[in-house]
Structure 1
Amino acid sequence: MHWADVVASNVEGKQTVSTGISPSGEIHVGNMREVLTAEMVVKALRDSGKEVTFYYEADDIDPLRKVPKGIDESFSQYIGKPLYKIPAPDGKHDSWSSQFIEPFKETLEILGVKLNFIYTHDLYEKGLFNDLIKKSFENRDKIGKIISEVSGKEIKGEYYPFDVICDSCGRLDKTVIKTYEWPYVEYECLTCRHTGKKDVRNGGGKLPWRVEWPAKWVILGVTIEPFGKDHAAAGGSYDTGKRIVSDVFGVKPPYPVVYEWILLRNMGAMHSSKGILIRSIDMVKMAPPQILRFLIAKNNPERHIEMDSGKGLISLVNEYDQTERIYFGIEESPDKERTGDIRRIYELSQVDRPPKEIPFQVPFNHLINLVQLKKSNEEILESLRNSGFKIEGDLEPMFRRAEAVKYWLKNFADDEFKITLTRQPPDMKLDASEVTFLKMILNGLMTGSSPEDVNKVIHESCNASINDKKRCFSLLYNIFLNKDTGPRIGYLFTSIGIESVKGFLRHYVNGNH
């Protein structure tokens, strides 16, 4: 059974799924694991006949803690202030938080994720936290004791579960409450030394995270929530949250769905503040949206994911295509016991419902070459026909994939994937074995050869002549690309066109070098 269906089978009745983020920087692929995990659970719940409400909260009243890499250090003046009250670094959006939320919303739309989007500062300003703020003050000693017992961190002095927004400097991370009489507090700001009196209702500040999270469970009626392994650690915010929500607010804690990080290969976990990331909006522009959904659907949330925007992305797309062929019965599953799970992964990878018939497939590697060598979709189709592809089914997914490849080539692809063909056969002095190698390829290549056919001819020709794979491929890449390495040769030759390839090879075989 797929992991999302397991979650759905473990709960009964109407459900409310919730998740969210603090929009303090670029929202990246790692962040998308949370919302897509939640969305797939929502789909599984609905497929099992359960009624579901799905919320996503932008915690935009959180303070800015650090200026992310790539943003001018002058914005350090806003550290400690609520994100929704800080100007946008790009000068184009209403606030810091909106600059990062807007492309995220666009990503959600492309991915087909439908949810109720909430801004946490709105919940405060509309008074939805007021009763729970009052209850938190009334039970502040109890809450402080829970946090100390569960987290192991001793709370010293008077504990007030509220961060006041300073009326003078606007920070909320350095204010200290001195006295309290509902609904007012007297406070001092340790940054600007301002002292004042503040109404804690309607957005005058916020509950600290370990209290705010369970308060949101109450306000929204949350019954299921995915969250990262940091919150799930022993003594972490989920452990304190479930005690506070049950012992103080009198509500059952939500069913937890804990997920691991998505790592960038050779770089570690993604972090907006460190600039180690692939933006979510870039991911859905450099590959079809089904690919990001597939990445999340195929991995159990408790397993970490390692990816990159180069060969790793190509492998991921190829794996998705194989899953699609298995779903439509064109290819057998390598693990027949998992065929049901593989089919379910494909279903959850779709932006909407699965297509009724398999879309026209072209290997990602092949498209990488075609979009660089052909000027239009018609030229791409003509090249595919000449390579033995049977053009049938829905072509639109292939055309959209071609646009994604162009975006990937422009913004993310390594140089090894970028090709510029030599205009004419370069002058090269070849020995007898090299001429024999090229002659055997020339004789073996046939019009309509597939990439696999080409690879077979090249390998057999190399073994029977030069007998050095590295030298054989380097020779071919230098002839056609004027460099030692390049994309897969079978896809390259079929993209160029077999007759054009043979024309180049004749130049050397006929002694014109």
Structure 2
Amino acid sequence: MARGRKQQGAPHDWVTRAADDAVRHAGEGKPVTVSSGASPSGPVHLGNLREFLTVHFVADELRRRGLQARHLHVWDDYDRFRKVPAGVPAEWAEHIGRPLTAVPDPWGCHPNWAEHFKAPLRDALTALGVEMEEISQTELYGNGTYREQVLTAVRHRDEIDEVLARYRTKKPVQAETDQEAEALADSVADEEDPSGATALERFPFKPYCRTCGRDTTTLTSYDDETTDLAYTCDSCGHSHVTNLATQDEGKLVWKVDWPMRWAFYHVDFEPAGMDHATPGSSFTVGHELVERIFGMPRPAWFGYGFVGFAGVQKMSSSAGGAPTATDALEVLEAPVLRWLYVRRNPRQTFDIDFGPEVIRLYDEWDALGRKAADPERRDAAVLAHERAAATAAGPLPAPEVVVPFRLLSSVADITAGSPEHISRIVASSGFPHDGVEALEPRLSRARGWVATRPEDERTTVRETADATALEALSPQESEWLSLLLQGLAGQDELDVEHVTSLVYGVPKLARGLGLDDAPTEEVKADQREFFRLLYHLLVDAERGPRLPTLIVALGADKVRSLLSV
């Protein structure tokens, strides 16, 4: 395909359209900047991940076209520390109002609060194939990079005030679920919206106190000629004067800061979550301010919907809170997690279910992979698969031998996760491979998922036979077990194909049929009763993993010990 142009006649999706918009904004043949932003105020959960991946997919499409594209990610780590979350010592309340980079890491493993939450996300994004250029607002405000932009905003503060005032009465976004309400409560969309009776109360710049480092400052005067800004700190009581032209002791308020950096970095595309993208929000205000105050066209954009979660009773690092990308990658292969975000229009809300739905999700992914292998069947769904499975730099890790996740997880559950044992059973189930590495990374994900399941969803193999139940067997049930044990006699290494034929065949043999004969209705009813009996005697449950897989995993000796008095 021609460099810089999308292939004619190829399937289109939201990524294609967003990339087209970004190119038009930048101008034909010019470098394209697409931007994301996040405040590292806590774990970057799966809702926040949509910000990163949405921009990544657009940047990746541009790179696939051979264009010079930059994914710029702005860390809003100069934002104020707003509240002490659960699990953090109460004394951290003394840091409220300080920049996130000035708050100590209560867990003691990183230089500061912000870095504690940036670091794991960086690792997860690398695993997801996301390449981005990171910038820190703490560093850029602190080294004077934005001085001219700050002065521009202050000179035009009356115009900014007029725009902000016009939107303050707009109705805020309404949450539809408890998870959405929690996400909105943590949002900075309306943070630092300057309002008040006087011009100084509505000033677009907020200093951090020179003495205590908090933003609990009340402005007392500003001199346009000298650019001296005087303030008193409500927390420590000290008064200072900071010079906006020579000192760097604060930041623009949020709704001015965002359009300022669109202009500063010539951003061509940046999406926004529902908390920012509603009428009267920071995005609406910013679109007007970037053109009117900073003299740059507003970036191309769209709003994206909320991402919820379910089935997370025992997710690891974020137990008690929303799961993070790190948590998700313990269960989902990187391409599968990417696919959840790229296959839907960004405006759609959706939940990621880490419960039994994970099995169905992998089944869908594998079916789509088989479809994608046929070049004649390329459509929007296949395009989403291509975007998920690889980036412009190459494919993401995938198993050499694709084994159904339901089989891997069942075997991992039964065998307590032994890779070698799993590998042997999988090979006997019709998926030959040279070594356990050929099953990765899916094998590790299956083991990880099993470890998150609650006890009532796990398979618990009996330690000893249920003597009472065995003594109470009916003559028919005794015959079924006798026929099964005869079929397993002399076999130390069980084969799934043989065991499958035997398990389904025992009720046939009991009714005088052969193993290869078609089952009658009576046999089908017997099979259901036989299966129920085996589950009860082997794992004390009404159902469980496929019986042939269960029996092979347990081994002939263990099965004989549980089915014999």
Structure 2 length-normalised TM: 0.78
Q: Deviations over 1:184-206 (max 9, x none)?
A: 21012233333221234553011
Query: Which runs of 5 or more structure 2 residues have no equivalent in the other structure?
Result: 1-11, 171-194, 489-493, 509-518
Residue 28 of structure 1: how far off its partner (Å): 1.5
1:157–1:399 CA distance, 2 compared to 1 (3 A): same
User: What is the 5 A alignment of 1:52-451?
Assistant: 52-152=69-169, 155-158=196-199, 159-172=202-215, 174-181=216-223, 182-200=226-244, 203-265=248-310, 275-329=320-374, 339-352=378-391, 353-354=394-395, 359-372=400-413, 373=415, 377-391=419-433, 396=437, 398-410=439-451, 412-427=452-467, 428=469, 429-432=472-475, 434-435=477-478, 447-449=495-497
Q: What's 2:173 paired with?
A: none
Q: What's 2:13 paired with?
A: 2
1:64 and 1:100 map into 2 onto residues whose CA distance is 13
* Identity between Structure 1 and Structure 2 (%): 28
Q: What's 2:180 paired with?
A: none
1:43 and 1:140 map into 2 onto residues whose CA distance is 38
Work out whether residues 129 and 396 of structure 2, in 8 Å CA contact, stay in contact via their aligned partners in 1. no
Residue 40 of structure 1: how far off its partner (Å): 0.6
Q: What's 2:8 paired with?
A: none
Residue 84 of structure 1: how far off its partner (Å): 0.2
Residue 418 of structure 1: how far off its partner (Å): 3.0
1:274 and 1:387 map into 2 onto residues whose CA distance is 35
1:442 and 1:382 map into 2 onto residues whose CA distance is 22
Query: Which runs of 5 or more structure 1 residues have no equivalent in the other structure?
Result: none
Q: Which segment drifts farther, 274-283 or 102-111?
A: 274-283
Q: Deviations over 1:63-97 (max 9, x none)?
A: 11122222222212211111000000101210000
Please give the secondary structure, in 2, of the residue aligned with 1:224: coil
Q: What do you get for the CA RMSD once the two structures are aligned?
A: 3.5
Residue 2 of structure 1: how far off its partner (Å): 2.0
Q: Which segment drifts farther, 284-293 or 196-205?
A: 196-205
Residue 402 of structure 1: how far off its partner (Å): 1.6
Q: Which segment drifts farther, 64-73 or 33-42?
A: 64-73
2:44 and 2:502 map into 1 onto residues whose CA distance is 42
Task: Output the amino acid matched with 2:440.
Answer: F
Residue 127 of structure 1: how far off its partner (Å): 1.6
2:240 and 2:47 map into 1 onto residues whose CA distance is 41
Residue 39 of structure 1: how far off its partner (Å): 0.5
Q: Which segment drifts farther, 150-159 or 109-118?
A: 150-159
Q: Deviations over 1:417-455 (max 9, x none)?
A: 433433454322223454466578779999442999799
Please give the secondary structure, in 2, of the residue aligned with 1:238: helix
2:506 and 2:381 map into 1 onto residues whose CA distance is 35
Residue 358 of structure 1: how far off its partner (Å): 8.1
Task: Output the amino acid matched with 1:212.
Answer: D
**Aligned residue pair count:** 495
1:245–1:489 CA distance, 2 compared to 1 (3 A): farther
Q: What's 1:482 paired with?
A: 540
1:345–1:456 CA distance, 2 compared to 1 (3 A): farther
> Which protein shows a greater Rg?
2
Work out whether residues 228 and 261 of structure 1, in 8 Å CA contact, stay in contact via their aligned partners in 2. yes
Task: Output the amino acid matched with 1:406.
Answer: R
Residue 141 of structure 1: how far off its partner (Å): 0.8
Work out whether residues 335 and 396 of structure 2, in 8 Å CA contact, stay in contact via their aligned partners in 1. no
Task: Output the amino acid matched with 1:316.
Answer: L
Residue 166 of structure 1: how far off its partner (Å): 1.1
1:155–1:45 CA distance, 2 compared to 1 (3 A): farther
Work out whether residues 44 and 325 of structure 2, in 8 Å CA contact, stay in contact via their aligned partners in 1. yes
2:535 and 2:320 map into 1 onto residues whose CA distance is 35
Q: Which segment drifts farther, 440-449 or 85-94?
A: 440-449
1:297–1:426 CA distance, 2 compared to 1 (3 A): same
1:58 and 1:248 map into 2 onto residues whose CA distance is 23
Please give the secondary structure, in 2, of the residue aligned with 1:179: strand
Whether 2:46 is the aligned partner of 1:29: answer yes
1:69 and 1:470 map into 2 onto residues whose CA distance is 49
Structure 1 length-normalised TM: 0.85
